[in-house]
Amino acid sequence: MLYDVPGRADPIISSDLLEQWNQTIQDAYDRLGNWKNRFFTLDPSSLKNPVRAPIKWFGDPAEPAFCLDEPTAKQLCDWGVPGRHILHNEYCEYRILEKPDPTGKKRPKRVQVTTELREYWACIAKFDPVAVRAMVENVLGFLPSWEALYGVSDPSKLSPRQREVAFSRLVAGHGNNQELVSAGVPEQPVGALNQDNALFMTHPINGLDDLLYIVMFGAAPYVIRTETGLKSAIREQIFRQYNVEGLACRHADPAAAMGAQGAAMNGQTVAFDNPLGMYILSFNHPVFRYQDQPVPQEWIRFSRGEKDMYQRLEFGPSDTDEAFLDDIVVEVGSDIKPLTGGFQVLQQIEIGPIIVVGEPTPVAEDEYVILRTSSEPIRCRDAGICDRIYQLKQQYDTQQKIGRVGPRQMGVIS
C-alpha cells in the first residue's frame, strides 16, 4: 500500500513525490531485516479487524532528569540550540522564541513544538525544491531564499543527490544516514532556518529508522521460563538481552517496544496506521493559566496535520499581544510555577505514532523468544549518555558565569 504524507499535512504533494516518500519508508524497513517477523507488517491494510493500540508517551526528555534532576533537566533542555541538539530525543523537539519586553529585556514569548520526521522533509527537498520551499513558507510564514535551503541560488541545477546533501547540511542534519555522514554532512544543521525555529526534528535519534526499529524490536513474544511455564518478559529483561539498556531509560522507546511486545504476546500483528508519522496525541492545556483564567484559545495553535494527527504546536502570545510566556503559570495540584520555557509544555504533551494491531492468533511454541537475562532494575544514572549531559551542564554553568558581569570597581584618586 501507499502511505499518505505524515498527518496528511501536504495534500498538494504529487503522486511521484508520494512514491518517493514510500520508497524512503521501504528502504528504512529493509535495513531492519534482522527484526522482521510475522508480528510486524508494513501494510496495515493486511490486518484483520485492526484496532488502535494505546501507545503514547510524554514529550519531555527523560535522560537529563535521571542523570541529574528535573530542575536541571528543565534548565538544560530550555538552553536554546545546545539543549535541543543534545537532549530533545523523545521524538519531540522545541524552540523558545524570545522577544524584547517594553524595558528591552529579552523574554520568552512562544514555544514552537514539532514532531515532524526529518526524513520526510529531506525526501521532498531532494526531489522537489519548489514543494519544500512552499512547506517552509507555510510553517514559518515567510518564503525562504534558495541559499537558506540549499546554499545555491538555483537548486534545479543540482542533482537530487546534491540537493539532499546540501539541504541536509543546512536544514536537516545527517540523521545517522551513513551516506550523508560520508558526504561530510554534520549531525545537526548549520543553517539558521531550523536553528532559529523548530521547523522539523533533527536529532538523529528522532528518525524514521529509529521509530521503525523500536516498534519492530518490541514486536515479538519475549518470555522467560519459570517453574510453572513461560511467562512474559519484563522491560529490563528485554532491553538487557540485546545490550540496549540505555533505551529503557527514555519515555519513547519503552512505551513503543513494550506496547508492541504486549500485542505479540497475544499473537497480534502490529503495524503503523496510515499515514505513518509521529503525532501530538494530547495536550493538557487546562494546567496553564493566565491572570487566573484559562489561557486564550488563540495562544494554542496546532498545525501540520489533520485533527488528531497534528505535528506542530505553537503555544503562547502573539507578537502583537502584550503578554509574554512567563506571564503564564503552570498549576499542577497545589504546585504553581511560572512558565519559562518549553520543557514544562512538553511535560503536558503526549505524543506517539498511530499503531494498530490485528486479531489475536495462537502463538506457536517455536515463535516465543526465550530470554535468560536478569530482571534487576536498570540503573539509568549509569547510562553512557549521562557523561555527555554532565559535560553539557558544565558548559551551561561556564556560559552563565561568563554572562554575569560583576560591578565595576572604581579606583580611588588620592
- Residues of the chain with pLDDT > 90, as a percent, come to 92
Report how far Cα 6 is from the mean position of its chain's Cα atoms: 14
pLDDT of residue 333: 81
Positions of E strands within 34-163? 51-53, 57-58, 93-100, 106-114
> Strand, coil or helix: what is 394?
helix
pLDDT of residue 159: 97
Across 7-15, average pLDDT:
93
Locate all alpha helices (DSSP H) within 298-413, ordered by sequence: 343-346, 385-403
Cβ–Cβ < 8 Å for 186, 169: yes
From CA 295, how far away is CA 17, in angstroms rounded? 39
Retrieve residue 322's grid coordinates: 502584550
From CA 250, how far away is CA 330, in angstroms rounded? 24
Retrieve residue 342's grid coordinates: 518549553
Which amino acid would we find at residue 171?
V
Phi and psi based region of residue 288 (left: phi greater than 0; alpha: psi -120 to 50; beta: remaining): beta
Cβ–Cβ < 8 Å for 230, 370: yes
Smallest Cα–Cα separation from 219: which of 39, 64, 51?
Answer: 39
pLDDT of residue 3: 96
Asked if residue 398 has pLDDT above 70, the reply is yes
Smallest Cα–Cα separation from 128: which of 152, 153, 164?
Answer: 164
Taking all residues of the chain, what is their mean pLDDT, rounded to a whole number? 94
pLDDT of residue 12: 86
Range scoring the smallest mean pLDDT among 116-120, 138-142, 229-233, 381-385: 381-385
Asked if residue 223 has pLDDT above 90, the reply is yes
Please, is 298 exposed, middle or buried when counting C-beta atoms within 10 Å of its C-beta (0-12, 13-18, 19+)?
A: exposed
- Residues of the chain with pLDDT > 70, as a percent, come to 97
Asked if residue 1 has pLDDT above 80, the reply is no
Between 405 and 385, the more confident residue is 385
Retrieve residue 130's grid coordinates: 519548489
Number of helical (H) and strand (E) elements in the chain, helices listed first? 15, 17
Smallest Cα–Cα separation from 171: which of 163, 179, 160?
Answer: 163
